[in-house]
Chains A and B, each alone.
Chain A
């Protein structure tokens, strides 16, 4: 574990800024950062801001992904957003230049040599003369690289958001954060990195890969550093509870809140976490929920600290028609994401864009003082999602007693471990497998009962007499190589088994229902 003081962070970031300046970087130039989770990830980013440039993180290539496909996918993004510099390692640069014959983006190879020597005249860096309304950074959406949308965030938006959000959770000087989250995601970047930096508090930042392999390291860090806040996607609560030895206990009494965010929160996940860690100092009141998105910098709503999260048990039949009626007995268990944070407005709208009453499910729309002004170099996408000052999130949900409940997605997005994938992308890959009947497959997200995580299942009609094991292997390999996503299950079906909509398209929702009910 390396300890970095604020002074070291500043000086090392200035060293990066000086290198950028020496390489001709000008204010507003876009710098992409593709690095492992080391301190250089922080220095390179802040250095870009100090140099007046616009930094953006992109995920590091996974060893399971094919390097050529990774770089071909990025090339589409590069051509659209025209970065002036790439900060990465020699091996990535080699792979990029081997894959892309016309790759000409200047690169800075990250390493300790950049930190050598003391930067001079650091107060004259162009970043210090930036206006509050200049673009500070681009926050790219997760999922397929070529479809990534870069949310433009200004300095003012980040500062105002961090103030408002930190106030909603009562985050103060005596708090500290433990995190394993990647920084290319808003939860890691804003809630943890910016949240701690702008309030001058400590952040314990673990490598995401190391945390997945050794989930107990997060609990060790909380115990050792007496951390008070920790943001996690829903799957991480389950992974920790499932993976750590049953007999082991930690002192987690310093924790004020574990905040569930970026995936729909499940009540039973919280129940299991409390049950597992009750003897380590965790109570239901310490588990909270936030609804967030990069388009609003981060948080939109937040459950109040110190109280148990509100729940609704919805009557199933009314729910299927988009209405939430409290059930007499067992119902569909839905967790509140809390009220909007200060200054933010949330409305639920129908297909025509009309506001609908509490207890009715519609699209969640957001407006507020730090709402983004657009996606970088994507005016059409911006116009589609940002209308009349409201951001149409694509998330479905309802308001109840002033609190927001999220029920699903309007489009075919499937959120897996906090990353967004689209069913149509997976189906397009399935269509390239020769034994799958073209156009006769659907990708769906279902709950894996072992892990509580969303798992992707592909239901596909296959040519009669083919080896379904072989098709499943081929599909899993193609999807992991192209999207970095592990398909949980492949379900081969005979011709004509998939149900169509009235308009003749294969229905994802109906086939999902049948699959979950065991009727396919």
Chain B
């Protein structure tokens, strides 16, 4: 894992802990999926995405955010968009 990606994951986990009150940061990995997390439904998913957008100062493409397979896919999407910024 690249150091940049590791930092992205840590920042995503920070937003997740804010979004899902019972979530323990240490339990989140790149492989974590929505059904692993209590309270992760379509409404809280939107709160998570809005939190991530605020944290990273970017707008995520809606076509991709609903079908993200796991936390790692979200991290990769953020890194890909960051890398594309000139």
How distant is B17 from chain A, measured CB to nearest CB, in Å?
14
Q: In the complex the two chains form, is A476's CB within 8 Å of B42's CB?
A: no
From known contacts A480-B35, A486-B34, infer whether A239 and B43 are also in contact, taking CB-CB under 8 Å. yes
| A63 CB-CB contact with B under 8 Å | yes
Contact: B67 with A213, CB < 8 Å? no
Collect the chain B residues with CB atoms within 8 Å of residue A253's CB. Answer: none
User: Which of B34, B41, B49, B65 is packed against the most chain A CB atoms within 10 Å?
Assistant: B41
A448 and B66 alpha carbons, distance in the complex (Å): 22
- Min CB–CB distance A468 → chain B (angstroms): 12
- Is residue B36 within 8 Å, beta carbon to beta carbon, of the partner chain? yes
Chain A min CB distance to B81 (Å): 16
- A430–B40 Cα gap in the complex (Å)? 18
Instruction: Apart from A209-B62, A214-B46, list 11 A-B contacts with CB within 8 A.
Output: A63-B67, A214-B62, A243-B46, A243-B47, A417-B42, A450-B21, A476-B35, A477-B35, A480-B34, A486-B34, A486-B42
Interface residues on A, range: 20 to 34
> Given A63-B67, A209-B66, A213-B62: A489 and B43 within 8 A (CB)?
no
Which residues does chain B contribute within 8 Å of A209, judged by CB atoms?
A: 62, 66
How far does the alpha carbon of A503 sit from the alpha carbon of B63 in the complex, in Å? 51
A210-B62, A488-B41 as given contacts; A215 in contact with B34, CB under 8 Å: no
Instruction: Determine chain B's interface SS by DSSP, over half rule.
Output: helix
Q: How far is the CA of A488 from the CA of B86 in the complex (A)?
A: 41
Which residues 206-251 of A sit at the B interface, judged by CB distance below 8 A? 209-210, 212-215, 235, 239, 242-243
Contacts of B50 in A (CB 8 A): 213, 243
Q: Enumerate chain A residues within 8 angstroms of B62, measured Cβ to Cβ.
A: 209-210, 213-214
Q: Is the CB of A488 within 8 A of B39?
A: yes
Query: Quick one: given A63-B67, A213-B65, A243-B47, are A473 and B36 in contact (CB under 8 Å)?
Result: yes
**Would A489 and B65 count as touching, CB distance under 8 A?**
no
A228 CB, min distance to chain B CBs, angstroms: 26
**Does A472 have its Cβ within 8 Å of any Cβ on chain B?**
yes
A235's nearest neighbour on chain B, judged by CB, is B43
Q: In the bound complex, do residue B38 and residue A490 qualify as a contact, i.e. CB atoms below 8 Å apart?
A: yes
Interface flags for A437-454 (1: CB within 8 Å of B; 0: not) read 000000000001011010
| 0/1 interface trace, chain B 1-44, chain A, CB 8 Å (1 if under) | 00000000000000000000100000000000111101111111
Please report which residues of chain A, range 448-468, place their CB below 8 angstroms from some CB of chain B when the two chains form the complex.
448, 450-451, 453, 455
Nearest to B54 among chain A residues (CB) is A245
- Quick check: A489 and B38 within 8 Å, CB to CB? yes
**Least distance between B79 CB and chain A CB atoms (Å):** 20
A80 at the interface (CB under 8 A from B): no
A453 to B38, CA, bound (A): 15
CA gap between A417 and B42 in the complex, in Å: 10
Q: List the B side residues contacting A453 at CB < 8 Å.
A: 43
Chain B residues in 8 Å Cβ range of A450: 21
Q: Is A64 an interface residue (CB 8 A)?
A: yes
CA distance A235 to B44 in the complex (A): 12
Q: Are A417 and B38 in contact (CB under 8 A)?
A: no
CA A129 to CA B44, docked complex, whole Å = 49
Q: Which residues of B contact A477 (CB under 8 A)?
A: 33, 35
Q: Which A residues touch B49, using CB under 8 A?
A: 213
- B34 proximity list for chain A (CB < 8 A): 64, 476, 480, 486
Contact A451 B43 (CB under 8 A): yes
Residues 264-283 of A, flagged 1 when their CB comes within 8 A of B and 0 if not, give 00000000000000000000
Q: Which residues of B contact A417 (CB under 8 A)?
A: 42-43
Considering the complex, which residues of chain A in the window 46-67 have a beta carbon less than 8 Å from any beta carbon of chain B?
63-64
Distance to closest chain A CB from B67 (angstroms):
4
Cβ 8 A contact of B46, one of A212, A448, A486: A212
Complex Cα distance A490/B52, Å?
A: 26
